[in-house]
Structure formats: C-alpha cells, structure tokens
Homo-oligomer: A and B are copies of this chain.
Amino acid sequence: MDSPTVEAGMNLEFLRPLVKRAETRIVLLVVDGLGGLPEAEGGPTELERARTPNLDDLARRGICGLHEPVGAGITPGSGPSHLALFGYDPIRYQLGRGVLEALGIDFDLGPDDVAARGNFCTVDASGKITDRRAGRIGTDKNRDLCGLLRKVAVPGVQVFVEPVKEHRFVLVLRGRGLSGDISDTDPQSVGKTPLDPVAHTREAEPTAKMVAEFVSRARDILAGHHPANMIVLRGFSKRPAWPTFGDIFGLKAAAIAAYPMYRGLAKLLGMKTLATGEEIADEFATLERHWDEYDFFYVHVKKSDSAGEDGDFERKVRVIEEVDAQIPRLMRLRPDVIVVTGDHSTPAALKMHSWNPVPVLLWSRYCRPDSVERFSERDCLAGGLGPRFPATDIMPLALANALRLEKFGA
C-alpha cells in the first residue's frame, strides 16, 4: 500500500500561517509509556510512587493535564502516538507497515524507495507455509541470510535487505517510478503458499514484477536453509510526502533518542537527529552540547516503556526518578517552554501500551499555572489542560507559550 497521499491536516493548515519566528527554545521531553496504573487496587501508579521533586516543582509552576494520543479507548503504537505529539493528526497521517519497519532500524528511506516488512518462514516440499516465523531463527542467522539475499540483482533497482530481530527483516527497493501499491505476499496463515505480489494500480505493475523477481530468486537462494527456506513480505509502502515539522512550525528541530525507531520517525519529519549515548544522562549531555544550535528539542526516554512492557513496576518507578534527577540540568539551560509527557501509557499492570490518558506538564513564563502540586495521573486530572485532551493540542500550546504564534484575525 502506498502511504495515503494526505494533505496537511486541518489543524496544520490552520496553524501554519500563524507561525512566526522567535528567539525562544522549546523542549519536548517524552518519557515513553509514562502513564501507569495502580499495581493493586487503591495503590499508587508508577508515577505516583516515584519520588519526583523536580517534576513536582515544574508541575506546581506550570500547567498540567492528561492527553489522549488518538482518542477515547484507543491504544496507540509508538508511530501514531508520536505523530500526535508532533502535532500530526494520527488518524489522518498513517504510515505504512514497511515504512514503520524501516524507521525501526533507522534506515535512511529515500523519497522514491519502497519498503516492505519481511519474515523468513518455513515452507514444505509443496511450497506451503508451515511456520510463518521460521522457528524464530536467531538474529545472527537472520543477518547471514540477509547477506545472501542482498546479492540478488533485480534489473532497474537497487535492493536493500536489512535484518531486524529474529525472523524479521526490511526489504527496500530503490529506483525510479516505484510504487508501494502492491498486495502482500504474506497469506497471514500456515498451510497456504506465499501469494504473488499483485499491483493495485497500473503504475505499480513494474514494481510488482521486480518484487516477484526478488522473491523467486530468494526462494532459490534459501532452498537449503531450512527452517528459513522462504520469505513473505507485507506492508509495501513509500515514505510519505508530508509537510516537515520544521516547515509547519517554523522550528529548527533536533531529536535526541537512543532508540533507532524514534530517530527514524524524527528524521521522517525532517528533524535533525543528534548522536547520543544509551543512558538518560547521555541524552541530557547531548542536549547541553547542542543547546545553541536548535530551537526545538525532542528528547526521548525509552526505558520507562520497556519496564512497563516487562511488567516491572519498580523498575519503571526508578526510570522516572532517573528522569527527574536530570531536570535541574535542563532548567540550567533556561528553556522558554518545557513539555514533559509520554507518548502513551504503558502500565506495568498491563505489560503493554494502553488507552489510559497520559500526564502532561507544560511550563513557561506565560502558561498560567493551575492548582496542581504534584506531577501524577491523579493530580493532573485537576489541571488546566483538562483530563482527556487531544495530544495534537500540545504543539500549538507549546508554540503559543514560546510566543511563536500570531494572533488569528483582527
């Protein structure tokens, strides 16, 4: 599927002409999976349990609330939830599966590349799939097989085959006039043979032929590599031609993220990604180092989400406390606007992303503080931003507080 050819969303179309330049700096600190749930009935959430004197101080001086990334009851993936934080309506702006997978390894997708998510799989003598994940082969084996597949020459295009984890890889075709409007070869069930890639439009026919050629060659190469003796592909898509974050908001934006997925996403929107280390403190050191070069910083902390996904309540508490300890460094930089939030909730009690609204704290000289005294889910309910506001409100609020929006109308 081609990524939907979306115009700038209603919000963005409205906002863009109001944007003005200013000498102010905004920091959007995303603590991934920040929102939580009580471990036991009546108990505190992860954030409520954490000792966060610095965030509490910001909450006291700022304005708080809870956002919903996509809508009531909707549990978002990291792609849609980040798009929403960045001001892009996540229902209007949807990324294809192949593009998301390429972002996940921070692959530098060109505007004409077509990406697909690939699985190594097992087929029997008749060609029918017996295991859609090839027994979850190890990542090392995956890397070797990708090395073999990379040697496939398809006339007219350059072929990239990049390992992800276990049985997963990314296929990228680079060439002219390619289209992502091609059906999956993955039948999504065992007992069936992989499907032929079918072009949904006339324009996609040459690309479908190239994919078929690649798959046919891959079959030959993998024949002796049971259980990974075949591949299936899905989510053919191109990098969308969306307006960039910088163009819309008039910001020189940089992303500081230890994890490739988030760098990939930021890059897709035209942000500059800054090299950083694995630790939270490394990310704040990167922020300090580049402070004078940008006027918008997206700082992403991954470990809170990982702890939530692992169901590790206490570890998530500690990650939040680790973030809190970095806040004084941030304050010393004298930013004009700080937003601290998560992209979604990842309660340890659920061991997964959830639909529960996400605490938000916005601080600026002009934010009009509310009565919230602590940064927590329960306290933010009484905040001035409201208990369930759309995440896409965050960017206009940040810009306004940075005195970067003109008056609307006379």
Contact = CB atoms under 8 A, between A and B. Distances in A.
A406 B400 CA distance: 35
Contacts of A77: 407-410
Main secondary structure of the interface of A (DSSP, over half): loop
A364 to B, nearest CB: 11
Contacts of A381: 370-371, 382-384
Contacts of A79: 409-410
A337 to B, nearest CB: 11
A226 interface: no
Interface in A88-105: 90-91, 94-95, 97, 100-101
Contacts of A396: 71-74
A193 interface: no
Nearest to A65: B387
Interface in A329-362: 347, 349-350, 352-357
A175 interface: no
A369 B38 contact: yes
Interface size range on A against B: 35 or more
From A75, A78, A371, A395, residue with most partner B Cβ within 10 Å: A75
Nearest to A377: B368
Nearest to A261: B410
A399 interface: yes
Nearest to A72: B393
Nearest to A404: B73
A386 B388 contact: yes
B389 A72 contact: yes
Interface of A: 14, 18, 37-38, 41-42, 45, 61, 65-66, 70-80, 90-91, 94-95, 97, 100-101, 347, 349-350, 352-357, 366, 368-371, 377-378, 381-389, 393, 395-401, 405-410
Given A76-B408, A349-B366, A353-B407, 12 more contacts: A37-B366, A38-B369, A72-B400, A73-B397, A352-B407, A370-B381, A370-B387, A381-B383, A381-B384, A382-B382, A384-B388, A386-B386
16 contacts: A72-B400, A73-B399, A74-B396, A74-B400, A74-B408, A75-B408, A97-B410, A349-B366, A354-B366, A370-B378, A371-B381, A381-B384, A383-B387, A384-B387, A386-B388, A388-B389
